[in-house]
Chain A
Amino acid sequence: AQSVTQLDSQVPVFEEAPVELRCNYSSSVSVYLFWYVQYPNQGLQLLLKYLSGSTLVKGINGFEAEFNKSQTSFHLRKPSVHISDTAEYFCAVRGATNKLIFGTGTLLAVQP
C-alpha cells in the first residue's frame, strides 16, 4: 500500500523568501506523485505532477518539485513566495491501486 507523509503541518515564511514543503512517500511499486493547492474555502487545484522522465518538475505559479527515488521524497519549492501563495498544500501519491492517496497537508503562511 502507498502512503504519504508531510512532516510539517505549518510553514511560516516571509514574503519574497524561498520555501520548501517536504513530502515523503512509501510504496513497493512505481508511483505517480502530485502536489495540489487548496485556497481557503475552495477546491483542490493541481500544481504539478511527476509521472516519469526528468526528476525536476515545473508547475504553475512558479512552483517546482524534485523527485528523489533513493530518498522517496517529492519536495515542493518556490524561490520567492507571495502573500497570495498562502494556502494548504497537499502531496499525493497514486500507485497500482489507482487511488490518489493524500498527505495530511501543509499550511503555507506567508507573512508581509
Chain B
Amino acid sequence: DTAVSQTPKYLVTQMGNDKSIKCEQNLGHDTMYWYKQDSKKFLKIMFSYNNKELIINETVPNRFSPKSPDKAHLNLHINSLELGDSAVYFCASSQVGNYGYTFGSGTRLTVV
C-alpha cells in the first residue's frame, strides 16, 4: 500500500507543451511538498502546501503552478516546458511534530 504515490513515473514531452504530475498521500499528513532533483542529484524544494494553503514558494518560474484540491493531493502543472525543466520531480509529505518527510518514487521528466 503506497504511502506517497506519483503519476506518471516517466514523462517525455516536447518543448512548449503543458504537462501535469499528480501526487497523492494516504498517510494522513497535513503538509505536502514538491522537490526538483537535477542531473547532478541536487535536491531543491519548490513548493509546500499545508492543509491546501501554499506556505513555501521558492524562486520557481511562474510556469510552474502547484494545486492542492485537498490535503491528500498536491499536483504540479508546468506550462510551456523548456529543456531545462528536465529533471526528477519528487513529491513528499510530513505531519506536524514528525519532522521527517516521506517521499514518493519520483517522476522523471524529459523535455526534448
Chain A residues engaging chain B, CB cutoff 8 angstroms: 32, 34, 36, 38, 42-46, 49, 51, 88, 90, 94, 97-102, 104-105
Contact = CB atoms under 8 A, between A and B. Distances in A.
B105 A90 contact: no
A49 B103 CA distance: 15
Given A43-B104, A102-B42, 19 more contacts: A34-B100, A42-B106, A43-B105, A43-B106, A44-B43, A45-B103, A49-B99, A49-B100, A51-B99, A90-B43, A97-B56, A98-B55, A99-B48, A99-B56, A102-B43, A102-B44, A104-B42, A105-B42, A105-B43
A88 to B, nearest CB: 6
* Consensus secondary structure, chain B interface: strand
Contacts of A46: 100-102
Contacts of A100: 33, 45, 92, 101
B34 interface: no
Contacts of B104: 43
